Copies of this chain bind each other. A is one copy, B any other.
Amino acid sequence: MERLRKHIEEILPLSDEEFLLITTHFTKKRFKKGDYLVRIGETVPQMFFVVSGLLKLFYTDESGKDHILSFPREDWWETDYLAFNTMARAKINLQCLEASEILCITLKDYQNLCNKLPKLEHFFLEKATAGHIASQQRILSLLSSSTESRYEHLLRRYPSLLQRVSKTLLASYLGVSRETLSRLSS
């Protein structure tokens, strides 16, 4: 849980009591490689904070092809936000690429926590804004950049990703076939 405290305190200082209150609302779980945290078609009772490990958030289209939205890793918040917030069924999957340590919070606990500690909404607002900005920049790069420069940009921004993720998965994040990406690398 210390990791969560440091993470929140980058934005919001916390007293010991406040942090204790926060921790009581989360459950720590361990997942193995391949485990699903969210599966298409099921409900999404929780939001997740990644303490350690690596996941993929992805959509599987009608033809069975995967499209990766993100690679959540240490210090990331992730879930199917649409399904989580509206208590609907998931439209996307969230699955472990590595064994992972995760803090989980239910919608009810999340709402309770925000009521008891309203300044946390400031924290989550910052996170949501950052997420929105990042998504917009991804849209821009999909609209305006070549596959090659998107690939270079990705590696520059997350150099460690290449060590942890297969090129097949990187291709499906970039929106090209793995063959095309392979030809780019060489």
The smallest beta-carbon distance between A7 and chain B, in angstroms, is: 18
Identify the stretch in A20-28, A114-122, A152-160 within 8 Å (CB) of chain B at 4 or more residues.
A114-122
Which chain B residue shows the least CB distance to A81?
Answer: B133
Q: Is A87 an interface residue (CB 8 A)?
A: no
A102-137 interface bits toward B, Cβ cutoff 8 Å, 1 = contact, 0 = none = 000000000000100011011011001101110111
Shortest Cβ gap from A37 to chain B (Å): 17
Q: Is A10 an interface residue (CB 8 A)?
A: no
Q: Which residues of B contact A114 (CB under 8 A)?
A: 122
From residue A177, how far is it (CB to closest CB) to chain B in Å?
A: 12
- The smallest C-beta distance from A161 to any residue of chain B, in angstroms, reads 17
Q: Are A144 and B81 in contact (CB under 8 A)?
A: no
Evaluate whether A59 and B140 lie within 8 angstroms (CB atoms) in the complex, with A122-B121, A125-B125 already known: yes
